[in-house]
A and B are shown apart, each in its own frame.
Chain A
């Protein structure tokens, strides 16, 4: 298991480097100069040239890339051009906000998704099933910016139950977590339902029933344990979708998280900040996948055996 984890971590290093190269190339192809964008229409050519030189933005691309890589290896992701603060600081300060948003959203998606999936599977083709599946389809299909607006309008503007936006306590977290969580809840509900239905058809369930176990016992003790394996892995891989969803959610609800930083880095061509933010997000996604694999092996003995063979 340890060998497996170590190997997975080593394999992810080229992935990280590859991502930085692609990003670096892309940002150099896209037009727009960070200093010019910072100064907008009032840019004076002399000042731009001078500040560019001071910030070493005139150096060849290769030189800049290796300088970045060398510093990054030493834990220094550079200083944001626009915000004039160390990139590592910016990300570490913003990350707890994104993390709490993501964790709350994930909780929402599990609390809604798993029971909805189970009930739908158990009462297959009933009105309840249709309702839950319709509800989850709505969650998956509604763009976040739209559901966010709708929720803000109903719960904050009209009913005045919750604050519109901001980030000053648990009350402020409810709407963004529901908006972001709802979209993943749909995926989880559908997966739980189909996985449970599949398991219910297997022989060991028939055996359990034949033993005379009650239906609730069959479902909770036997079926669910097996049906939730793919769901658990999806939950770990959710990191990627939660991160991308957080970009929009953070903008609409004014949450000072990593998503906001990334968007501002893109629009201002702030290379050091963007590199840092993307590197960080990549690392998180890799970590999510690793956790998914490990969970999978814990839950499924077949995988564990396979891993032992590989190691």
Chain B
């Protein structure tokens, strides 16, 4: 699903965020990427999204060598991915329904199909009764669930989550992780960047630890004991 082959990423100014990284994430895996601030976790996600291009090495996503993907082909790859952010990134002037539907509108899904799918997703994340509400009327946990519903709208093969529980209390964080696990159980590969020890340790999934851009640990059923 994702393959980093001797990838190095140096930002303009000389900061080396990823240093000769070799990493393989297989289809259907659930992977945590952990590490302290500045360890290269978010850069890793940006490389998968081709928001950044590596200074050296090759990133392959869903069989596509991203260095050969032209800007016209990039949307087609991204349509097979879902992304969730720490700050939710919902459109504040649109209702919950419209926010989720938006992801499907962008890929030109027929209106009828959008309606069926959005209702299904909102039920799945427990917000069926709030489809007409606006993001500001929801709690943080609810907003993140909307963001997750949006990320899953186009049935992505790969779901990337950047600190999805960073702004949530324990209960809401657990709720989000359950939803991610459910998506994973349905076949979606999930990559979660986090430094929330409790979340990682409660899941017993593969854990990749980065430090200063270097892969320092790759545990199949990881458990982390130190605070980042």
Is the A/B pair a real complex?
no
Q: Which residues of A approach B to under 8 Å, CB–CB?
A: none
